[in-house]
A and B are shown apart, each in its own frame.
Chain A
Amino acid sequence: MSHELPEHPDWLWRTPDPKRAYDVVIVGAGGHGLATAYYLARDHGITDVAVLERGWLAGGNMARNTTIIRSNYLCDASAAIYEHALKLWETLPEELEYDFLFSQRGVLNLAHTLQDVREGIRRVHANRLGGIDAQWLDPDEVRAFCPIVNTSPEVRYPVLGATLQPRAGIAKHDHVAWALARKADAYGIDLIQGCEVTGFVRDGERVVGVETTRGRIGAGRVALAAAGHTSTLADLLGLRLPLQSHPLQALVSELLEPVHPTVVMSNHVHVYVSQAHKGELVMGAGIDSYNGYGQRGSFHQIEHQMAAALELFPIFARAHVLRTWGGIVDVTPDASPIIGSTPIENLYLNCGWGTGGFKATPASGRVYADTIATGTPHPLAAPFALERFTTGALIDEHGAAAVAH
């Protein structure tokens, strides 16, 4: 784990000036925006594309997440899109010619109450029938798989079992973004940083371009991929969305010799932790209750996270928090994303991934690109349309994913 990271390619991307217009303008050069650009080119041959980024490329949640990748979701629609993502992850390092340290080390979701057990078994059964690898482990099997988890029955909320998805794991988030950016750039797509969208150019009910801090850019189609800032962009169009932006914090320890072989998540005790390739423990804290765009949350979330971590991993007591940070997660009422068209012609929406965006990156980009290119929702995206909030056909992962990632 402590080896030097693999060498990056010698060339990544250009720093072009924006053209006057593009077929497709993607707003937001995070993982999803970059993946969308890549798949527009790869799958649909659409390369007259600009990806606009107000800050630096992949500097938002893509740079701030805890890098967990899994597909063991409960709802059919969620499981389908995340499993599509996982299958893409499995071939992406080779396809993108970039070793972004995708490591299928498994994810344990611990159960601490009888209801947790029921939910876990429900998910395992659903996953297996959905073609997703899933197992139920009893406490002894949990200990065998991850010896540092405290499986003593004496703790406040003993581990009663866990679901295991062996194909789940982690990847190096920055490198994923750079891998996608590099290939998108190679297709001729313009990645334009330091370019903030300040308005939309409309022609009646259609959107035909964007105003930016670097001037007006015409667009055949505009695709939002701006995560926590989606609401502020939609506000410019008078479009109100079922989104709330919240702070979410994470932290890393110093580099440590390998102790933690997998990824452990516990909704009940509020822990998710892995050990990254360099050796640091990477952990996420709970989401702050209040709305916030400041990329920082309240410290009691971190303190509680540490208490929870020590409940499950007494060995972590002497580890140190080296660095904390916060991101902005855009959360929908059913904790599932919104993908698809909008009431405004030529404007597309991909947002609301909440705490689950990183793991979905390739699938999100792929189905979004397909939806943009064809003008009709990709089958995997269709259930995630905005209309579900009117019909009530929510994809409610809340039960299974109170703090899940």
Chain B
Amino acid sequence: MTQPHRLADGGRLDRSTPVRFTFDGTEYTGYPGDTLASALLANGVIEVAPSLYRRRPRGIATAGVDEPHALVQVAEPMLAATTVELHDGLSATSLPGLGRLDQASDEAVHDKMYGHADVVVIGGGPAGLAAALAAARSGARTVLVDDQPELGGALLSGHEEIGGRPALEWVEAVRAELSDTAEVRILTRSTAIGYHDQNYLLIAERRTGHLGPQPLPAAGRGRLWHVRARQVVLATGAHEHPMVFAGNDRPGVMSAAAVRSYLNRYAVLPGRRAVVLTTNDHAYGTALDLAAAGVEVAALVDTRPQPPVALAEAARRAGIEVLAGSAVVGTSGDTRIASARIAELAPDDTLRGPVRELGCDLLAVSGGWSPAVHLWSQSRGSLRFDEALAAFVPAQAAQQVRAVGAARGTYDLAGCLREGSAAGAEAATLAGFEAAAPPVPPSVGDPRPALPRPVWLVPAEEGEPATWRDHFVDSQRDATVADVHRAIRAGMRSIEHIKRYTTIGTAHDQGKAAGPTAIGVISRLLGASSPAEVGTTTFRGPYTPVSFALLAGRERGGLFDPVRTTSIHPWHAEHGAVFENVGQWKRPRYYPRPGEDMDAAVLRECRAARGAVAAMDVSTLGKIDVIGADAGAFLDRVYTNGFAGLAVGSARYGIMCRPDGMVFDDGVTVRLADDHYYLTTTTGNAAAVLDWLEEWLQTEWPELRVHCTSVTEQWATVAVVGPESRAVLADLAPDLDVSKEAFPFMTARQATLSNGIPARICRISFSGELAYEINVPSWYGLAVWEAVLAAGEGHGITPYGTETMHVLRAEKGYPIVGQDTDGTVTPQDLGMEWIVAKHKQFIGKRSFRRADTARADRRRLVGLLPLDRAELLPEGAQLIADETALTGPPVRMIGHVTSSYRSAALGRTFALALVERGRDRIGEKVYAPLPDGRLVAATVTEPVLLDPKGARRDG
């Protein structure tokens, strides 16, 4: 297939290896160096999908990120064809502004990069290159960021000269020098998408997409760079905006700058017979280049009554008729433009004189230029409207940043080079380097332009704005002058309202090109004297769309959140444990034997613990060493009960509250020495408790001589539970006197196990059974676990998981913080008045006296025994006081079930619940209305259902 619109030579293309691609099912060829859009134009294809709402025919309109029409689906939805690099085998379909998510999962990986720089330069055009060069020569760590595959910016699309050579030779020389300079990084195919506080930049780098279907092994498809910069130079260029006239959305109406880019950078003729419409000097270059490429330029329509003489003369010399003080007022054509209607503009922008119609297949439009202030604005820099430039330009910087070149409205090449060089040197100097602006080479081309004559709204040949439904303000949103007019007529005055009413600026291009035009139109229709009165909407990141996957990076699957496992974990996995996520930990929930479901396994595990002996890996419990002369005094302030008086070698259960008096955490603490407490926390709260202790120590009581160290991962802990646990321990630690008298409940002993491993053994119980917790350095965890199982083999020792642990503790009425409490529960609510010290201060104590906290009818923890001994109440079930209380809704609820189990020991089901005045209801019945319509009755009991005197535990 030939490329009928490809120029015979020129362009930044590799013509040696044509590539094939398909677009909407048709195969075409192009060259490396093309974008999808330029390759389509080379093949004479300008039309893309029709518009989303009005189904208007649309065509490629720009050559960059501001493309409003040419959206395509590749693998990703909604990419602008003007930004998709062509590669062999590319297959694209056009989209009417509505993307499609591929059901197939995306296996591509993306990486996060983190960098620090003295100077970051955004934009690799002449200003940015000059800035980077000046900064780099000072030795400053410099990062140059550009979104194109090659540096040069606007120079890629023109034929300027710098230093007496073609400008792109200068670009190459700068690139080469930068590449050879230490501490310089050039990021191409990289778009700075965000500018955040304290000079924090986000840069999206595209790495493999342009290579086609053979990604580099192990390379991410993209990288998201996070760069903290001391100084930033924004050389982000400017966007050319469209003009608003009737039929301005027709295929063949194209940005004048884009036309020039297609001619020079991509060697493509976007049309054969052109009309050029402009408000400013820039489009003269387009017209001359078109003529030079053999395109018939039917007219150059300039809104200015007196275009610069030199430009007008150059145009005439090229055989181009210049129609000054005029504008295009309409277009015609089946789909693609076939003619443009041109009329003279009065000084007040009304039409006058006859309308002239010129045939054309291309209308190149320059409605004016606006600096790309998006990043500047994201950095909180202020903007001002420059009436001469007719554009919003950077005003006051809010961070260590400056804008140079077209990004601040400097459009001549010499000015861009000069500003860039000076800014690069200034940035490096402020970053602490000795820098001087390198001499600026002389340049030819892009002289300082004369002032534009903005025409924000070209009137229709007839009618009023209310009826101008073919004057597109935001063509992707199909929003027109009529829509803006309607919003204003409805009473809207703020641009934010008008934007939202009309949806202008909310499409895929986020109004990059058309935004300034829209402000102009709104200012005209509001009767404002200038767009300055209207102002801009907020420029929000990202500058260009970025994929969810890029932002997610590698934090997916197993890396979404770390998995923590104990040193005994491999045994659990080998022995078929079913795991539960508790915080980041994996904990065995139960160990099913063949044919067992959870209920059966848990009943068996419970029977073993109550009847013989069972073992559990409790290594995940949080463990904190609290060490120092004031450790006891400190814990007295933190726990509701006293710890200073705890004997060395003894253990005590404690509860800590938040200042509001609500239970925060609980656990057993052992005093190992006068100045050393070994504190345990719940599994999920370990980090929070350490944070809590450190916060109080450092910020409230720095005078206390205490320090806290997390030792959760230093110790593995095995709980050995059950009436035969003593025998197992005796076997395991033959040198330890395990007798009831020598090693009583709530004490700790240091011992050497028979396998030579040193252990800290605590006789504590979360099951109500005789029980020991054996703590060993965690690298011995697995060995000790296996030794415990071996020692217990003759006793039928049974490993058990969290579910059995829950049943055992619930039978004893021991609450679990976070399950039986929810942040609104005091120790008294749990029936633990005994743990709240009367004669000392501790965090939260004052709160117990508050009116609501001291209420007599608070919800209290009680036990529940369903009347039907086999009925398992759902955890979370709500309770009502009597069976006739089911009126409403709302039904008056008096509490809820916090824990509910089948008990092997009790031979029945039971539950724990928080119930209003619960302790006063013991012996009464309460009712749980279930979603299936049943009403389940249960008797309120004391929460301790097994061995209330603790004989088993103390045995």
Chain A contact residues, CB within 8 Å of chain B: 2-5, 8-15, 56-57, 59, 63, 76, 79-80, 112-115, 117-126, 128-132, 135-136, 155-157, 174, 185, 193, 253-257, 259, 279, 294, 296, 298-299, 302-304, 306-311, 314-325, 388, 390-394, 396, 398-399
The answer to whether B490 and A9 touch across the interface, beta carbons within 8 angstroms, is: yes
Residue in B490, B823, B891 whose beta carbon sits within 8 Å of that of A399 in the complex: B823
Complexed CA–CA distance, A395 and B663 (Å) = 16
Which B residues are in CB contact (< 8 Å) with A390?
850-851
The answer to whether B931 and A128 touch across the interface, beta carbons within 8 angstroms, is: yes
Interface residue B102 (Cβ < 8 Å from any Cβ of A):
yes
Which A residues are in CB contact (< 8 Å) with B556?
307, 310-311
Question: Looking at B77, B202, B503, which has the most chain A CB atoms within 10 Å of its CB?
Answer: B77
Residue in A57, A311, A398 whose beta carbon sits within 8 Å of that of B560 in the complex: A311
A309-B548, A322-B510, A323-B510 given; A122·B876 CB < 8 A:
yes
Which B residues are in CB contact (< 8 Å) with A13?
491
Which A residues are in CB contact (< 8 Å) with B660?
392, 394
Complexed CA–CA distance, A394 and B661 (Å) = 12
Which A residues are in CB contact (< 8 Å) with B547?
317-321
Question: Looking at B200, B380, B508, B540, which has the most chain A CB atoms within 10 Å of its CB?
Answer: B540
Residue of A nearest to B853 (CB): A392
Complexed CA–CA distance, A202 and B670 (Å) = 60
The answer to whether B889 and A122 touch across the interface, beta carbons within 8 angstroms, is: no
Residue in B76, B819, B852 whose beta carbon sits within 8 Å of that of A118 in the complex: B819
Excluding A12-B490, A56-B494, 4 further A-B contacts by CB distance (< 8 Å) are A129-B893, A256-B77, A320-B78, A396-B823
Question: Looking at B200, B478, B822, which has the most chain A CB atoms within 10 Å of its CB?
Answer: B822
The answer to whether B580 and A308 touch across the interface, beta carbons within 8 angstroms, is: no
In the assembled complex, the CB of B892 is this many whole angstroms from the nearest CB of chain A, namely 9
The answer to whether B106 and A5 touch across the interface, beta carbons within 8 angstroms, is: no
A124-B931, A299-B202 given; A156·B557 CB < 8 A:
yes
Residue of A nearest to B897 (CB): A122
Which B residues are in CB contact (< 8 Å) with A396?
822-824
A311-B560, A318-B547, A319-B547 given; A2·B581 CB < 8 A:
no
A57-B497, A131-B889, A399-B823 given; A316·B548 CB < 8 A:
yes
In the assembled complex, the CB of B884 is this many whole angstroms from the nearest CB of chain A, namely 14
Interface residue B896 (Cβ < 8 Å from any Cβ of A):
yes
A130-B889, A394-B824 given; A2·B98 CB < 8 A:
yes
Residue of A nearest to B547 (CB): A320
The answer to whether B819 and A319 touch across the interface, beta carbons within 8 angstroms, is: no
Complexed CA–CA distance, A253 and B551 (Å) = 13
In the assembled complex, the CB of A196 is this many whole angstroms from the nearest CB of chain B, namely 15
A255-B98, A321-B545, A392-B660 given; A125·B555 CB < 8 A:
no
Interface residue B815 (Cβ < 8 Å from any Cβ of A):
no
Q: What are the nearest 10 A-B pairs in CB distance?
A: A131-B889, A122-B876, A121-B876, A320-B545, A392-B850, A393-B852, A56-B494, A306-B551, A317-B106, A307-B555
Interface residue B355 (Cβ < 8 Å from any Cβ of A):
no
Residue in A126, A174, A398 whose beta carbon sits within 8 Å of that of B878 in the complex: A126
Complexed CA–CA distance, A256 and B106 (Å) = 17
Interface residue B211 (Cβ < 8 Å from any Cβ of A):
no
In the assembled complex, the CB of A119 is this many whole angstroms from the nearest CB of chain B, namely 7
In the assembled complex, the CB of A209 is this many whole angstroms from the nearest CB of chain B, namely 26
The answer to whether A11 and B490 touch across the interface, beta carbons within 8 angstroms, is: yes
The answer to whether B850 and A321 touch across the interface, beta carbons within 8 angstroms, is: no
Residue of A nearest to B851 (CB): A391
The answer to whether B890 and A76 touch across the interface, beta carbons within 8 angstroms, is: yes
Residue of A nearest to B200 (CB): A299
A4-B53, A113-B581, A392-B847 given; A156·B561 CB < 8 A:
yes
Interface residue B465 (Cβ < 8 Å from any Cβ of A):
no
Can you give 26 contacting A-B residue pairs, CB < 8 Å?
A10-B490, A11-B491, A56-B496, A63-B500, A118-B898, A129-B878, A129-B890, A130-B890, A131-B889, A156-B558, A156-B560, A156-B563, A157-B560, A157-B561, A256-B98, A259-B101, A304-B555, A306-B549, A315-B101, A318-B106, A318-B547, A319-B548, A320-B76, A323-B510, A388-B852, A392-B853
The answer to whether A324 and B896 touch across the interface, beta carbons within 8 angstroms, is: no
A256-B98, A311-B560 given; A10·B819 CB < 8 A:
no
Interface residue B316 (Cβ < 8 Å from any Cβ of A):
no
Which B residues are in CB contact (< 8 Å) with A132?
889
Complexed CA–CA distance, A303 and B111 (Å) = 12
Interface residue B57 (Cβ < 8 Å from any Cβ of A):
no
Residue of B nearest to A396 (CB): B824
Find residues 873-906 in chain B having any chain A CB closer than 8 Å to their own CB: 874-878, 880, 888-891, 893, 896, 898
Main secondary structure of the interface of A (DSSP, over half): mixed
Complexed CA–CA distance, A115 and B821 (Å) = 11
Interface 0/1 of B817-858, CB less than 8 Å to A? 011001110000000000000000000000100111100000
Which A residues are in CB contact (< 8 Å) with B194?
299
Residue in A9, A126, A259 whose beta carbon sits within 8 Å of that of B893 in the complex: A126
Complexed CA–CA distance, A10 and B490 (Å) = 5
The answer to whether A306 and B548 touch across the interface, beta carbons within 8 angstroms, is: yes
The answer to whether A314 and B888 touch across the interface, beta carbons within 8 angstroms, is: no
Which A residues are in CB contact (< 8 Å) with B580?
113-114
Interface residue B768 (Cβ < 8 Å from any Cβ of A):
no
Interface residue B448 (Cβ < 8 Å from any Cβ of A):
no
The answer to whether B893 and A76 touch across the interface, beta carbons within 8 angstroms, is: yes
Complexed CA–CA distance, A144 and B398 (Å) = 51
Which B residues are in CB contact (< 8 Å) with A122?
875-878, 896
Which A residues are in CB contact (< 8 Å) with B560?
155-157, 307-308, 311
Interface residue B934 (Cβ < 8 Å from any Cβ of A):
no
Which A residues are in CB contact (< 8 Å) with B508?
254-255, 322
A317-B547, A319-B548 given; A2·B490 CB < 8 A:
no
The answer to whether A126 and B896 touch across the interface, beta carbons within 8 angstroms, is: yes
Complexed CA–CA distance, A11 and B501 (Å) = 12
The answer to whether A121 and B874 touch across the interface, beta carbons within 8 angstroms, is: yes
Interface residue B949 (Cβ < 8 Å from any Cβ of A):
no
In the assembled complex, the CB of A336 is this many whole angstroms from the nearest CB of chain B, namely 12
A129-B888, A254-B78, A323-B510 given; A318·B98 CB < 8 A:
no
Residue in B108, B501, B557 whose beta carbon sits within 8 Å of that of A8 in the complex: B501
Which A residues are in CB contact (< 8 Å) with B78?
254-256, 320
Complexed CA–CA distance, A259 and B884 (Å) = 46
Find residues 471-511 in chain B having any chain A CB closer than 8 Å to their own CB: 478, 486-487, 489-494, 496-497, 500-501, 503, 506-508, 510
Which B residues are in CB contact (< 8 Å) with A325?
538, 540
A157-B561, A256-B101, A392-B660 given; A121·B889 CB < 8 A:
no
Complexed CA–CA distance, A115 and B202 (Å) = 37
The answer to whether B850 and A391 touch across the interface, beta carbons within 8 angstroms, is: yes
Interface residue B541 (Cβ < 8 Å from any Cβ of A):
yes
A4-B53, A306-B548, A324-B541 given; A136·B931 CB < 8 A:
yes
The answer to whether A14 and B491 touch across the interface, beta carbons within 8 angstroms, is: yes
The answer to whether B876 and A256 touch across the interface, beta carbons within 8 angstroms, is: no
In the assembled complex, the CB of A171 is this many whole angstroms from the nearest CB of chain B, namely 14
Which B residues are in CB contact (< 8 Å) with A255?
52, 78, 97-99, 507-508
Interface residue B740 (Cβ < 8 Å from any Cβ of A):
no
Which B residues are in CB contact (< 8 Å) with A321?
542, 545-548, 551
The answer to whether A279 and B890 touch across the interface, beta carbons within 8 angstroms, is: no
Interface 0/1 of B700-740, CB less than 8 Å to A? 00000000000000000000000000000000000000000
A4-B53, A121-B874 given; A257·B551 CB < 8 A:
no
Interface residue B405 (Cβ < 8 Å from any Cβ of A):
no
Complexed CA–CA distance, A279 and B930 (Å) = 39
Which B residues are in CB contact (< 8 Å) with A319?
77, 99, 101, 547-548
The answer to whether A56 and B822 touch across the interface, beta carbons within 8 angstroms, is: no
Residue of A nearest to B378 (CB): A296
Which B residues are in CB contact (< 8 Å) with A388?
852
Residue of B nearest to A120 (CB): B876
The answer to whether A303 and B551 touch across the interface, beta carbons within 8 angstroms, is: yes
Complexed CA–CA distance, A158 and B99 (Å) = 29
Interface residue B2 (Cβ < 8 Å from any Cβ of A):
no
Interface 0/1 of B76-98, CB less than 8 Å to A? 11100000000000000000011
